[in-house]
Structure 1
Amino acid sequence: MSQEIKTFTISVYTENNIGLLNRISAIFQRRHINIESLTTSQSEIKNVNRFVIVVKITEDQAIKVVRQIEKQVEAIRAYYHTNDETIFTENCMFKIKSELLFEEPQIQNIIKESDARIVTVNRDFFVLENTGRRHEIEELREKLDKFGIMQFVRSGRIAVTKEEMKVSEILEEFRNQQ
């Protein structure tokens, strides 16, 4: 196994139970592993949720974490993947003073160049939304920062694997047990 630290996306398929997030995050905390991002949502199977957790660790650590997660009663299955094995993106929103939209032509150029989308505009502010890789979002943030950002939020990673995951069969068995 490799001792090189890499970015891994850990996908965890679970039942939707209270307290599971605390138990999963405790697994990382006990190992002194910082979670770079965490997203949870419903998966492709009814009544099964999916956690997408991004961490920078060795492959040995990824294997151990996945095994520990799978010991949780509500965890159906956990996987780890490298960036090369996944298709991933993040989402973000910026809240900026409305006057800048009309008074600073450079802002409109930044919006066009970044393929950002204006979500809403009112007298006091406008909201931009953008989707991309983290470095793309950070580049946009740097460009807008000089004009003053009132609020900023970025989602965690969402990801799917490039290869078919056999999880569908396992999840189908889970569905049939419900």
Structure 2
Amino acid sequence: MKQEFTLTIYTENHIGLINKIAIMFSRRKISLESLNTSPSEVENIYRFTIVVIETPSVVKNLVCQLEKIIDVFKVFCNTNDEIIWQQIALYKVSTPVIMKEVKVERLLREYGAKAIVIRDDYTVFEVTGQEEEIHNVLQKLTKYGLIEFVKSSRVAINKESHGIHKMIVEMENNNPKGQPITNQYLDQKQQIFQM
């Protein structure tokens, strides 16, 4: 049965790397729900955060293949209950409607929206949250003349107290050509993937 997985891929930043990763997904006909790339906490190491909806066995095989790419240090695979994640959404609405409709103001306060641009013709609000919160605000603002909407890709952090920083620094300092870092979280989930 398909479910949502968040893959965190730690890599060096080399030209063509995103293409190599994209080919892995397209060959397996896996759609990306979300893709984000950013620097990590380790200098010169970048992280891709990719969300897919797929079966555990397909994701397991994908993780193994991604880890074979030379520039990839490690791939972590997590379910939503194992990570803390957020997205940012921007909503452009008519300023005259916002000024007239008190309900909209209450709605925006309820979801922690903040105005980042206020003009005579439109106002842009920012909401940070998870998919459901962002979708609820979108649905409700549509009734009040929503002009434009955009949301970011997912950013996620593992709930475990340690990150990859220590593992990468130790690997680079002690034995850069030694054994690859093992994903203990993925190893613990082997039972899930075998279902």
Pick from 49, 55, 59 the counterpart of residue 52 of structure 1. Answer: 49
Aligned to 1:14: 11
Q: What is the alpha-carbon distance in structure 2 between the residues aligned to residue 36 and residue 9 of structure 1?
A: 10
Matches within 5 A, 1:122-133: 122-133=119-130
Report the Cα offset of residue 174 of structure 1.
6.1
How many residues are treated as equivalent by the alignment?
174
Q: Distance in 2 between matches of 1:13 and 1:26?
A: 17
Task: Please report the TM-score for the alignment, with normalisation by the length of structure 1.
Answer: 0.91
Q: How does 1:145-164 map to 2 (within 5 A)?
A: 145-164=142-161
Structure 1 regions of 5+ residues with no counterpart?
none
Counterpart position of 2:69: 72
* 8 A Cα contact 1:40 1:49, kept in partner: yes
The verdict on how the C-alpha distance between 1:111 and 1:18 changes in structure 2, with shifts beyond 3 A counting, is same
Distance 1:157 1:78 in 2: 16
- Corresponding residue for residue 40 of structure 2: 43
Letter in 2 for 1:99: P
The Cα of 1:145 is off from its aligned counterpart by 0.6
Aligned-residue CA RMSD (Å): 1.6
CA displacement at 1:115 relative to structure 2? 1.1
TM-score (norm 2): 0.83
Match of 2:114 in 1: 117
Whole-Å separation in 1 of the counterparts to 2:74 and 2:156: 16
Change (3 A) 1:147 1:166: closer
